[in-house]
Chain A
Amino acid sequence: MLEVKDLHVTVEDKAILNGLNLTINAGEVHAIMGPNGAGKSTLSAVIAGKDGYEVTQGTILFEGQDIFEMEIEERARAGLLLGFQYPIEIPGVKNIYLLKAALNAQRAARGEGEIPAPEFMKLVREKSAEMKMDPSFLQRAVNEGFSGGEKKRNEILQMLVLQPKLAMLDEIDSGLDIDAMKVVASGVNSLRSADRAILLVTHYQRLLNHIEPDRVHVLVDGRIVKSGDKELALELEARGYDWVLEESAA
């Protein structure tokens, strides 16, 4: 589904990703871990299409298509969505407007008509109930005055409505209390299916207890230096990153 090959990225002439390789197949859940500043958010942002990064080398294929040829909104419509580490507030734009405009944009890209209002209402109510969000949140401006945890749940709500093929979630667990973690995790788990994939960026094993990954990668200095199965996350939790660094230096 996603194939990142030899990716080099700089920001303001500073090298951040240095030859990164990553392959994610349909049906899989991948977790990326690694020290602060390693480039994890940069990787997901470059895949999603955020401005400000210069790709100096390498390719990214999504379902065989070169994503550097696609605008950010085209990537989203094709099923590539990023849940932000720090979701921003959009004053005045109601949640429901965003959801509807986004869903209809996706449908239009598939050559489908607009979703009928009753069907849409049913969908968003169902999904907000799943995220344990009061329907009044739909009427509120996107993230405006939301608590940290509510913002994260709102990101997942968008995912549930838009059903991405590849959902990338950047530190979706940060700032969540224990109950919210369960709600968010079950939301993410409901996105799992044989034809979808999920990429989680996290610092903590805790999230991976709820969302079991197929593959775990360690990203250090802009490169994936070690990959393994879910046991690797446990080992990192117990031993930290130093041994990985030493191993990769050797």
Chain B
Amino acid sequence: MSAPERFLERLTLRRTDDPSWVAARRQAGAARFEAMGFPTRRDEAWKYTDVRRIAEGDFALATDAGFDAARFEAQRLDIDAYRLVLVDGVFSEALSELEGLPDGVQVEPLSRALSANHEAVGGALGRLAGVDFSPFTALNTAFADEGVVVRLAPGAVVDKPIYVLLLSRANGQAVMSHPRVLIEAGARSEATVIEHYSGEAEAANFTNVVTEVLLDRGAIVDHYKLQEAALTDLHVASIHVDQSRDSRFNSYNLNLGGALVRTDLVTDLNGEGAEAAYNGLFFVQGRQHVDNHTLVNHNSPRTFSNENYKGVLDDRSHGVFNGKVFVKKDAQQIEAYQNNANLLLSDRAEIDTKPELVIYADDVKCSHGATTGQLDEDAVYALRSRGIDEPMARALLTLAFVGEVMDKVRLNVIAERVERAVAGRLPERFNLADLVETAEAVQEA
């Protein structure tokens, strides 16, 4: 039996009360996946990322959403938010907190949205992430029966972040999950949505998530993807964004965890005045492999994009950055900036970076670049000469390196968490929160 067949065999174990259009889509996904098979390194888009660990794995489907309460408390973001929790892809009512949603704001598990009113979801689901995008999107389409639906009525402004927590357990038998996130932001609506991947330390599951974000005129969405899963977890994600006139999409792709993580982020700027900001940070260590493929399509004149990805690589980790900006024929008055800077903390860490501009218009302001370097040893010396020991000196400089991206992160709980992880080699007495507070105090005074 081929690898795709082995994966698809699990489909038969699913419940089958799907509405007919869902069933048809599943079949299309399954057929497409079977035809494409898993990508190999001969595929240009997967040149640096070997997915055999996924293809050769044996992953069951989880059937319950139990999770240790103490561990849950320790791992969740301490944040006032509307929270929806999936455990190995299964919705956990017990851990979720969705009360008090304002008028015009819907946040529901996908299963519930489908059973309550599947037609309302039908139009949007799968519109951006077709089964041809990649074998993984096709696979997700075949399996997805859980996830999150976020719908904002025109003008709705969500007062608190919408926090989706996806937990991975250390199961005896590894499992796979194929969550589907759908965000439909009506005209002039505003929301912050967090996808947070975390879980038990030894978890070695396969998460294959697809996110679709539709922004109507003037909508503003801040989208966080915080990946903190176990260093043994496998993760493939694609995020598809469609932006109408004057909308704004801010992506924060913050990657700390996972053994193998591949994220595709694709935005179509389809209306004048639409603006996308891609802020990315990956901090990898051990033998972690993190691959970010980003694409911005400037399909309309007067659209703007600004991308800044920073990578910090330690030990024998491997990072991939492939960023492409595409300006359609005659889409004039475009501004597109792209930058990827990487810091290698070890000789054996490796980065493959490829920033790419493809432009078919002439009235365009663009820049792109990639740099890779090490910590400045003179700066390490300068700090040590003031009594700061070497690990802390290096941590301070590493924080400084990621500062440009972290300064953009508006949710302090997340910024602090990431900074702590990046500066993780700090001695116990170094109190980052205290430093941040101190800096703020100076600012205010």
The reply on B371 being an interface residue by CB < 8 A is: no
Provide the residues of chain B in CB contact with A22, threshold 8 Å: none
Over the window 405-445 of chain B, the binary record of Cβ atoms lying under 8 Å from chain A Cβ atoms (1 yes, 0 no) is 00000000000000000000000011100110111011101
A94 B389 Cβ-Cβ under 8 A: no
Min CB gap A109→B, angstroms = 7
For window 314-334 of chain B, which residues contact chain A by CB distance below 8 Å? Answer: none
Q: Which residues of A contact B386 (CB under 8 A)?
A: 73, 76, 81, 98, 101-102, 105, 158, 162
Known: A92-B399, A101-B396. A73 touches B389 (CB 8 A): yes
Q: How far is the CA of A30 from the CA of B227 in the complex (A)?
A: 57
CB of B170 within 8 A of chain A? no
The distance in angstroms between the C-alpha atoms of A69 and B381, with both chains bound, is 17
List the B side residues contacting A106 at CB < 8 Å.
Answer: 387
With a CB–CB cut-off of 8 A, which chain B residues contact A194?
A: none
Q: Among B385, B397, B438, which residue has its beta carbon within 8 angstroms of that of A48?
A: B385
- How far in angstroms is the closest Cβ of chain A from B418? 15
Q: Interface majority SS on B: helix, strand, loop or mixed? A: helix
| A82 CB-CB contact with B under 8 Å | yes
**Which residues on A sit within 8 Å (CB–CB) of B384?**
71-73, 76
Q: How many residues of B contact A (CB 8 A)?
A: 33
Chain A binding surface SS class: helix
Partner of A117, one of B389, B429, B430, B441: B441
0/1 per residue, A48-85, Cβ < 8 Å to B?
A: 11110000000000000000000111001100011010
Partner of A139, one of B435, B437, B439: B439
B19 within 8 A of A: no
- Chain A neighbourhood of B443, CB < 8 A: 139
Q: A92 touches which one: B400, B429, B439, B442 (CB < 8 A)? A: B400
A contact residues around B397 at 8 Å (CB): 90, 92-93
Q: Are A121 and B388 in contact (CB under 8 A)?
A: no
The answer for the CA separation of A54 and B429 in the assembled complex, in Å, is 34
Quick check: is B337 within 8 A (CB to CB) of the other chain? no
A121 lies within 8 A of B441 (CB): yes
Choice from A76, A96, A104, A120 contacting B385 with Cβ under 8 Å: A76
CB-defined contacts of B404 to chain A, threshold 8 Å: 92
Residue of A73, A88, A102, A120 near B438 (CB, 8 A) is: A120
Considering only CB atoms, which chain A residue lies closest to B436 in the complex?
A97
Nearest opposing residue in chain B for A52, CB measure: B381
| Interface check B379, CB cutoff 8 A | yes
Assembly CA distance A98 to B441 (angstroms): 16
- Quick one: given A90-B400, A120-B438, A139-B443, are A114 and B429 in contact (CB under 8 Å)? yes
The residues of A that contact B430 with a CB separation of less than 8 Å are 101, 104
Can you list the 9 inter-chain pairs with the closest CB atoms, starting with the nearest?
A92-B400, A76-B387, A102-B386, A77-B387, A105-B387, A73-B384, A93-B400, A92-B403, A90-B379
Instruction: List 18 A-B residue pairs with CB atoms under 8 Å apart, sorted by A's residue number.
Output: A72-B381, A73-B387, A76-B387, A84-B382, A87-B382, A88-B379, A96-B442, A97-B396, A98-B383, A98-B386, A101-B388, A108-B429, A109-B387, A114-B434, A121-B441, A135-B442, A139-B442, A141-B400
